[in-house]
Homo-oligomer: A and B are copies of this chain.
Amino acid sequence: MCQLLGMNANTPTDIVFSFAGFATRSVEHADGFGIAFFEGHGLRLFVDHLPASQSPVASLVKRYPIKSQHAIAHIRKATQGRVALENCHPFVRELWGRYWAFAHNGNLLDFHPKLHANFKPVGDTDSERAFCWLMQELSKSHASAPSVEELTNTLQELVPHIAKHGTFNFMLSQGDALWAHCSTKLQYLVRQHPFGLAHLQDTVQDGDMTLNFAEVTQPGDRVVVIATEPITRDEPWVPMTKGQLLAFVDGVPRG
């Protein structure tokens, strides 16, 4: 199984601290990694077939504090599809003049939807098929870009059609909201004033890694971190429930 990490914030924020912890998990999830950052309508996508613990691309992400309001990262342990660049998440497509990024944790069995429209998989994973189907059905449901609320409603209708095929934890963003769906395991943490100290759950290099968020934030900042497993060990992570879909906007979860 793969692991997911997402971030949604009300101000451009870097994900260096969380990603450093997350990347250590790639010892067990060694079949590639990827991370997508929205900067306004623009998108940066870094993918590598190497594990995040060894990839020079992942080292760059750990060193270069890219400021973003929406980021989605994924470390892969292949279940379906070869170890290849085209099978690394997040996947990206354009719809309504916006980029959409998607990453999935889980395994979908016998999921071969009709992809009769304009979104075709490039690789051979169940995940990219699911993303293409979601994009196809969203584009059929709305003639032009709807509001976040309308998109959430449409996704609520579409997601069960995929989720019945297996485990379907995913994150999706188009740069205005980040949607997270929990099928089996996903948790989130809201970081806001008063900010304090956080310790990474994972051991980075030779020791613990700690950050005092009070020193790197403004009082109005609000950041949500979403992950398969908690990234830090002293903050109030909230487990999502099975079947729950949340839209995170400006660091606030909306049901």
Contact = CB atoms under 8 A, between A and B. Distances in A.
A99 interface: yes
Interface residues of A, number: 36
A114 B139 CA distance: 19
Interface string A111-127: 00000011111110000
Contacts of A97: 120-122
A94 B123 contact: no
Interface string A34-64: 0000011111111111000000110010011
Contacts of A118: 117-118, 139
Interface string A138-166: 01000000000000000000000000000
Nearest to A91: B94
Q: How many monomers of this protein are in the complex? A: 2
A238 interface: no
A199 interface: no
A86 interface: yes
A40 B49 CA distance: 12
A178 to B, nearest CB: 18
A44 B99 contact: no
Contacts of A63: 56
Contacts of A39: 49, 84-85
A120 B41 CA distance: 13
Q: Which 5 A-B pairs have the closest CB atoms?
A: A42-B85, A42-B86, A97-B120, A118-B118, A56-B64
